[in-house]
Amino acid sequence: MALLPAEIIESKTRQTASLIFLHGLGDNGYVFWLICFNNLPSSSGWADSLRNVVPPYCKIVCPNARDIPVTINMGMVMPAWYDLYNLGIGAKQDEPGILEATKEVAKWVAAEKTAGISSDRIVVGGFSQGGSIAFYYGMTNVEQKLGGIVALSCWLPLHEKFVSNSSVATANRSMPILQCHGKMDPIVPHELGALTNSILGKLGFTNCSFSSYQGMGHYTCDSPPADELLFLYLDHFTAQEMTDVKAFLSTCLPPVNE
């Protein structure tokens, strides 16, 4: 079972939980750009950004997507979980690519289980396109109960399948789900995140939280930098978003009694 390359930060204490977190379009788990242009430590990137929000017994795994041509970006080759044609509601979707990316997540979950971490101690999350895959995996994972889903600035892809066949999404209806979305997001509109939350409710998911952030766009930094190029690469949480994610992970991945 070949796994995609990943940036990994081991737990500070004995590992009893895992967070598998997927980056967004054109990004990766490491973000070399941050090191070159911002003089940050070599461990910077999504993996390092998450270091301070996970419990000390939680391992962080940030897989790197393959480079593929992306239609919405004029066919440019970049890291992506699947092809994107448009980001509007009702847009054409790359179903084969979504299904393939979901299989990659399943491999990492299986690897963590093989290492001794039960599935209910594994949270799957992601930002933007990565968050959409985390969502889809959680909704279609019928074999095991997950610890939860963290979905940042994203949407549920292929949601029509769940509406027409709600039995697909029965396995994890009680799992904790945290959605975070900026109200000023120009890339993945806030209403798309709200629509996803509404769909989850209609499907019977009972443990969902949808947090909106006034003034936040499609990024996770304290405030939008003046340089538009810069904010596309900044992966630091807003203070409130960090607090929300940290509290969520502490709740759904509590300490294990020795």
Asked if residues 133 and 101 have their Cβ atoms less than 8 Å apart, the reply is: yes
Q: Is 181 a catalytic residue?
A: no
Who wins on pLDDT, 172 or 192?
Answer: 192
**Is 70 among the domain residues?**
no
Residue 78 placed within a domain? no
User: What tokens were used for 225?
Assistant: 């930098």
- Looking at 159, 181, 190, 218, which residue is catalytic? 218
pLDDT digits over 221-248, tens only?
433 433 333 343 343 346 788 789 999 9
What is the extent of the structural domain holding 181? 6-65+101-252
For range 102-130, the mean pLDDT = 95
Token pair belonging to 53: 């929000």
What is the C-alpha separation between 54 and 237, in angstroms, rounded? 13
CATH number, domain of 112, equals 3.40.50.1820
Domain count, the chain: 1
Does a structural domain hold residue 77?
no
Using one digit for the tens of pLDDT, what is the confidence trace for 27-41?
Answer: 776 643 333 334 444
Dihedral sign computed on CA atoms, order 169, 170, 172, 174? positive
Residue 84 within a domain = no
DSSP states of 36-94: HHH---TT-SHHHHHTTTS-TTEEEEEE-PPEEEEGGGTTEEEE-SS-BS--STT--B-
Strands 58-63 and 6-9: antiparallel
Q: What is the average pLDDT value for the chain, to the nearest integer?
A: 81
Asked if residue 182 is part of any domain, the answer here is yes
CA angle 225, 181, 38 (to 5 degrees): 30
d(CA 20, CA 124): 5
Instruction: Establish whether 27 is a catalytic residue.
Output: no
227 is an active site residue: no
- Give the active site residue among 18, 128, 132, 153: 128
For residue 46, is it within any domain?
yes
Which of 94, 185, 235, 244 is labelled catalytic?
185
Q: Give the Cα separation of 213 and 241 in Å (integer).
A: 8
pLDDT over threshold 50, residue 68: yes
In a domain, 39, yes or no: yes
Residue 115: inside a domain? yes
Q: What is the DSSP string of 208-241?
A: EEEEEETT--SS-SSS--SSHHHHTT--PPPHHH
How far is the C-alpha of 172 from the C-alpha of 177, rounded, in Å? 10
Most confident of 10-19, 43-52, 86-95, 161-170: 10-19
d(CA 182, CA 127): 12
pTM for this one?
Answer: 0.86
Candidates 12, 23, 235, 21; CA nearest to 108 is 21
